[in-house]
Amino acid sequence: MRLLFLGDVVGRPGRQVVAELLPGLRQSWRLDCVVINGENAAGGFGITEAICDELLAAGADAVTLGNHSWDQREALVFIERQPRLIRPINYPLGTPGRGAALIETESGRRVLVINVMGRLYMDPLDDPFAAVDRELHACPLGAVCDAAIVDVHAEATSEKQGMGVFCDGRASLVIGTHTHVPTSDHRIMPGGTAFMSDAGMCGDYDSMLGMAKEEPLRRFLEKTPGTRLEAASGEGTLSGLAVETDDRTGLAIRVSPVRLGGCLEPVMPGFWT
């Protein structure tokens, strides 16, 4: 299978670059499944139903979230009727929505998508490792699903890497989100799971983590209250990871970062071009 994961969509530049590039990539790369983290898609804070629909229409099969899941209060309601919007699985019992979904692709293959949030320097949710372990046991790779993607929304690279090691051999891809900076450690782990500490963001990199530079810089310099952060408005970069899996095992056989548009140096998976 051919999988594409795109990092946190931040504001209008992130949404625009997804809308402009993803439909063509989906066709030219013959992608089986696309997952996008959309927790910053609404001006950098949360997601609305209209924006979720926009990402799905552009070619996403599922949209994952994170610590900004509920910044737009409407998400607490529409997530119940949108099965392809996935919030962290380790939110407490009774939280609206779902933390995992089994997505059926156009070819009839099944992809398990899990979203989990780390606990280091983040909100102290339930144990992320236990929550992911339960889901992987309930929907094992190669038996119930043909591929499994775990989005680890976390601050600490150690925690993300720990989840990668924990899931190695049981998931097709474990990929970090949240820090908005693409890492260069993409690889296939010994057990066959593709891994990257952070997918980066889909947004304007001439910014501070996707936000217009003036206010966050002022906060560093002055340490006084100021105005609300606003998403940057320049040209966006599409940033994420491409993975090809073995149809027999569901494990990764090829992996490449993806960066297109904007001010970062372009990177494409040579094995699909």
Decide if 167 contacts 174 (C-beta within 8 A).
Answer: yes
Rounded Cα distance between 248 and 49, Å, is: 36
State whether the Cα torsion 201-206-211-216 is positive or negative: positive
Rounded Cα distance between 220 and 218, Å, is: 5
What is the CB-side half-sphere exposure of residue 186 using CA atoms within 13 A? 22
Decide if 62 contacts 35 (C-beta within 8 A).
Answer: yes
The residue to which tokens 């607490």 are assigned:
76
Which residue numbers are catalytic?
68
Residues 6+ apart with CB under 8 A from 255: 186, 187, 188, 194, 196, 241, 242, 243, 244
Decide if 114 contacts 98 (C-beta within 8 A).
Answer: no
Three-state DSSP at 116 gives strand
The count of residues in the chain is 273
